Amino acid sequence: MNSAPATLASGEGNPLLSMLPIILVIVLMYVLIIMPQKRRQKKHKMFLDEIKPGAKVLTSGGMIGTVMTVFEKTVEVEIAPGIVVTLVKPAILSSATDMA
């Protein structure tokens, strides 16, 4: 007898072929979720590194202010005339001029 049809019927095919859907899902997740997130993180880091005094910024607390002083890890932001707060750089979300 020919044993080839019996092996195909029992589901013993190429193991790589049976894992193909899982591999495709992982690759799709990487392309659709992880790559864009890395791109956003890189863009935000570049934005934080380029902050200069006088720039209008939006904080994570929703306040809009003007950068007064920039240090290595912190930034002093004036949120109202005479009121200056110190924020860590990651607390700055974006430029307030982007909101106009």
Whole-number pLDDT of residue 42:
96
Given CATH 2.30.30, say whether it is the number of domain 52-100. yes
Q: Which residues have CB under 8 Å from 100's CB, separation 6+?
A: none
Question: What does pTM read for this prediction?
Answer: 0.70
pLDDT of residue 98: 72
φ, ψ (nearest 5 deg) of residue 73: -115, -10
Hey, what are 49's tokens? Answer: 């590194």
Average pLDDT of span 19-42: 94
Predicted local confidence at residue 100, as pLDDT: 55
- The average pLDDT across 15-28 equals 90
Q: What residue type is 21 in one-letter code?
A: P
Residue 19: pLDDT over 60? yes
Domain boundaries, the chain: 1-50, 52-100
Average pLDDT over residues 51-56: 95
